[in-house]
């Protein structure tokens, strides 16, 4: 046991979907468990944090961290595991770019608290009590983590060695990543362990893309019966494929759902949201200003579309400039 590489799997601001994806490795997970010693994995096993605290620096070979950083507890655990680990893998869209939780940055902490603890129709809170980091009860102090006013990506808080995007990442890329660490056959630090091309380059619907695309009406996927083989964009359905990295396995595209962008942008793209916005508008075909506005107004929540997984890395959305991975 002593010589097996130690691995920690930990959730920060995550939904457990990423943990579930690791469980979904099925038989392969048994092989993984054979070759490594799992020292922390709250979803699957019972561990005590003080055991991690007692470990030596870099004693853990790999920490797989899922989720964004939204509160002081996430930050503390991220820092602790960074200190105790040789390698840190940002696992899943939330850890890499903030994920869907990052859309909360469109609201302030105050907006969120007011809604969740006061204004939402299902809330009963007659004394309008909000969570406090410290509460005194019978002479004892109860504490809660501090809810930050911003959702951070993992690399805005700690140094990250590798990235594996996806919501959640697909089994083949997870297995590759773990094998790469176990065998020591690692790409340069900072690499994203996924293909470099854009989704459109590998999408089977690309062949059916007309050479000159024109969008005269924007449609939402649930409003139409989309052709199962044609390019979504050519059908006027917003698909993030042109601005998204490939490697997801195209589960969405195969089930007739357009790409939402959970793999983040392809390498070298700075500002994927605005790039996509420009590309989309260039396809819009309309004569008068009114017609242009009408088409654009029919896009519900465009910011939510273009930044669905990446708001905290965006030009306007990020809070600690200069430290992020490529956008």
Binding site for ligand SF4 (CB under 6 A): 14-15, 17-18, 66-67, 92-94, 99-100, 167-168, 199-200, 203, 205-206, 209, 231-233, 239, 241-242, 253, 258-259
**Closest Cα to residue 107, out of 327, 276, 317, 315?**
317
Q: Is 142 in the site for another protein (CB under 8 A)?
A: no
Nearer to ligand SF4, 109 or 208 (CB): 208
Contact 61, 5 (CB under 8 A): yes
Region binding another protein by CB under 8 A among candidate stretches 45-53, 55-63, 202-210, 275-283? 275-283
User: Which residues inside 78-117 make contact with another protein, applying CB under 8 A?
Assistant: 106, 108
Q: Which run of H or of E encompasses 131?
A: none
**DSSP per position, 220-235:** -GGGS---SSS-TGGG
Q: Is 296 in the site for another protein (CB under 8 A)?
A: yes
Nearer to ligand SF4, 87 or 151 (CB): 151
- Write down the least CB distance from residue 203 to ligand SF4, Å: 3
- Write down the least CB distance from residue 240 to ligand SF4, Å: 7
Q: Is 217 in the site for another protein (CB under 8 A)?
A: no
Facing residues of 162 across strands? 89
Q: Which two tokens stand for residue 152?
A: 């951070």
What is the Cα–Cα distance from 151 to 102, expressed in whole angstroms? 5
What is the Cα–Cα distance from 7 to 75, expressed in whole angstroms? 19
Among positions 4, 83, 209, 275, the unique one binding another protein when judged by CB under 8 A: 275
Greatest distance between any 2 Cα atoms in the chain: 73
Among another protein, ligand SF4, none, partner that 12 touches (CB below 5 to 8 angstroms by kind): none
What is the Cα–Cα distance from 261 to 166, expressed in whole angstroms? 9
Among another protein, ligand SF4, none, partner that 182 touches (CB below 5 to 8 angstroms by kind): none
- Write down the least CB distance from residue 209 to ligand SF4, Å: 6
**Closest Cα to residue 144, out of 129, 154, 159?**
129
How far the first Cα of the chain sits from its last, in Å, is 40
What is the Cα–Cα distance from 235 to 229, expressed in whole angstroms? 11
Q: Using CB under 8 A as the criterion, which residues of the chain lie in contact with another protein when the complex forms?
A: 106, 108, 270-271, 273-275, 277-278, 280-282, 284, 289, 292-293, 296-297, 299, 301-304, 306, 314-317, 321
């Amino acid at each position: 046991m002593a010589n097996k590489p130690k691995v920690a799997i930990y959730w920060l601001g995550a939904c457990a979907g990423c943990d579930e994806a690791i469980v979904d490795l099925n038989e392969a997970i048994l092989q993984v468990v054979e070759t490594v010693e799992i020292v922390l994995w709250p979803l699957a096993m019972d561990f005590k944090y003080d055991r991690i605290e007692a470990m030596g620096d870099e004693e853990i070979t790999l920490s797989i961290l899922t989720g964004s950083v939204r509160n002081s507890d996430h930050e503390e655990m991220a820092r602790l595991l960074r200190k105790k680990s040789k390698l840190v893998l940002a696992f899943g869209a939330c850890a890499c770019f903030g994920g869907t939780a990052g859309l909360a940055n469109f609201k302030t902490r105050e907006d969120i608290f007011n809604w969740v603890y006061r204004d939402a129709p299902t809330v009963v809170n007659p004394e309008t009590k909000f969570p406090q980091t410290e509460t005194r009860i019978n002479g004892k102090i109860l504490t809660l983590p501090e809810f930050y006013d911003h959702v951070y990506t993992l690399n805005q808080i700690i140094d990250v060695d590798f990235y594996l995007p996806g919501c959640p990442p697909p089994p083949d890329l997870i297995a590759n990543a773990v094998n790469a660490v176990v065998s020591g056959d690692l790409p340069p630090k900072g690499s994203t362990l996924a293909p470099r091309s854009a989704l459109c380059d590998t999408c089977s619907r690309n062949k059916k893309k007309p050479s000159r695309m024109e969008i005269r009406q924007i449609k939402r996927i649930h409003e139409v019966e989309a052709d199962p083989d044609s390019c979504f964009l050519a059908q006027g359905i917003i698909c993030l494929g042109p601005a998204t990295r490939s490697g997801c396995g195209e589960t969405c595209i195969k089930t007739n759902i357009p790409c939402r962008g959970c793999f983040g942008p392809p390498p070298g793209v700075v500002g994927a949201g605005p790039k996509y916005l420009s590309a989309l508008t260039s396809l819009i075909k309309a004569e008068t200003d009114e017609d242009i506005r009408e088409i654009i107004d029919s896009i519900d929540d465009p910011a939510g579309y273009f930044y669905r997984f990446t708001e905290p890395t965006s030009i306007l959305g990020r809070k600690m400039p200069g430290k992020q991975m490529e956008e």
